[in-house]
Structure 1
Amino acid sequence: MKILQFVFGISAFATTTSFSTKFSFVMNCPNKTLPVSGIVDYPFAVDSMNQMIPRCDGTMQKLYVSGDFSSDAEFYVAVGVLAFLYIIGAVALYCYFSHMYENNPLVPLVDCASHVLFAILWLAGSSAWANSLTNLGMATSVNNIIGENPDLCKPKMCIGDREPNYAKLVISVILGFLNVFLWASNLWFLYKETHYFKAKTQNQADGTNPMGAA
């Protein structure tokens, strides 16, 4: 289970931080055509792109794109990184300090509680990032960008050429919800290692044992 959490955890935040896509449109000036393009990448604070593009009269103007989706993206990545570090620590605990897990009842309890926390964090991060990704797609659509730059693109002057492709980020969201399942599904096995479950099992065994009852 830890191997699956490790692989899918890295994949979730790596597909987000390494992402980059491009949009473009064409300005039809009276005597020439000017291609305009922009890059959308992590952390997706698209309102801070500060990209200068040429106008038909030869001057330069900043391309305006609204929206800042960096907070949800960074939170999602932070959850992935923290989960990655926790897995490394947990594997070291299982492999080299197993006696602590067996002899100290607090260690299994903390491990189980940590998995509950990470399952909640993955759910919150994935949900927030999925919502921001939807808004990011709308904000960076070529038609929306053209509409937000009326001084640059007069009516029917700019024509869309290339829409940004967010397929890789959709995969990152799916991986996030898959991590929710992986961390939550591991809770039962961790709960069985806590003294609460062992004490309950022992009490049930004593209650059904005739000699114990006598």
Structure 2
Amino acid sequence: MENILANLNIQPLKEPRGFMKVLQFVFSICAFATTVSYSSTFSFTVQCQGSKNDTVIEELITYPFRVDSIDTTYHYCNSSVSKVHIMGNFSSDSEFFVAIGVLAFLYSIAALILYCFLSSLYDNDEKVPILDCAIHVVFAFLWLAASSAWASGLTNLKMATSLDAIMNENKDMCATNVCTPGKELAYSKLVISIIFGFLNLFLWASNLWFLYKETSYFKNKMNMAAGNGSTQPAGTA
């Protein structure tokens, strides 16, 4: 334990690249946690003709949003039996978004360990800062792709799970009976997850400049500029 603490260097956390990495760690958790922890219910009521026994249809929607796989059987209007039908499977977009969030979270931990416990490796090996910068380029692109895909998927999810769309899809219940809307799904948590996704895109993209400054390309360029600036033209006799 003492040997591990002896190698601890918190100076990188005071620098932009380290501080940004802490923010990336926190907001990557926020992005995937708000998605996987989502749950909300919708409901509508089937009012049967010639009967006072109304039936409330209620379903829970959760991650990963395979809403077309709902398989609950309802008994309504005395002897009628039916299942709720919802069109659409939005698992690919949500799972891609969550996967990028988890990978970003894991890489943030690895990078913080590198910065704080293996700082000599980062400072002395030219390839390590270049690789770190390149990985950030990849993650910035992945956050853009995942956030955009999930934003599109959420739009389609809202359309598929609106009560009007659900009641229209379940005509076997609502064609000969009166269906009245009940509780709508709450989408605010998923909207927040998308906001976190684009915030992560900003963090990973903006951190590229600070990481580029740690690479040998930038340092050599600065050394050359400093050398040219210190060279004075030869004086004349």
Bin of the TM-score, shorter chain as denominator length: over 0.9
Equivalent-residue separation in structure 2 for 1:116 and 1:62 (angstroms) = 47
How much does 1:49 deviate?
Answer: 1.3
Partner residue in 2 for 1:46: 67
Does 1:2 find its partner at 2:21?
Answer: yes
How much does 1:33 deviate?
Answer: 0.7
User: Contact (CA 8 Å) 1:207, 1:213: kept in 2 or not?
Assistant: no
AA in 2 matched with 1:21: S
Pick the structure with greater CA Rg.
2
User: Contact (CA 8 Å) 1:139, 1:145: kept in 2 or not?
Assistant: yes
RMSD of aligned residue pairs (Cα, Å): 1.6
Q: How many residues align?
A: 214
Partner residue in 2 for 1:173: 194
Partner residue in 1 for 2:151: 130
Equivalent-residue separation in structure 2 for 1:47 and 1:147 (angstroms) = 15
Change in 2 beyond 3 A, CA 1:212/1:173 = farther
**2:79 match: secondary structure:** coil
Task: Select between 39-48 and 1-10 the one with higher mean Cα deviation.
Answer: 1-10
Change in 2 beyond 3 A, CA 1:201/1:33 = same
Partner residue in 1 for 2:87: 66
Partner residue in 2 for 1:13: 32
Q: TM-score, normalised by structure 1?
A: 0.96
Does 1:151 find its partner at 2:167?
Answer: no
Partner residue in 2 for 1:120: 141
**1:152 match: secondary structure:** helix
Change in 2 beyond 3 A, CA 1:157/1:213 = farther
| Runs of 4+ off more than 3 Å | 211-214
How much does 1:61 deviate?
Answer: 1.5
1:59-105 residue CA offsets vs partner (Å, 9 max, x unmatched): 43111000000000000000000000000000000011111111111
Partner residue in 1 for 2:127: 106
Equivalent-residue separation in structure 1 for 2:209 and 2:137 (angstroms) = 11
1:116-175 residue CA offsets vs partner (Å, 9 max, x unmatched): 111111111000000000110110011100100111112561111111110010000001
Unaligned runs of 5+ in 2: 1-19
**1:162 match: secondary structure:** coil
Mapping 1:82-101, distance limit 5 Å? 82-101=103-122
Unaligned runs of 5+ in 1: none
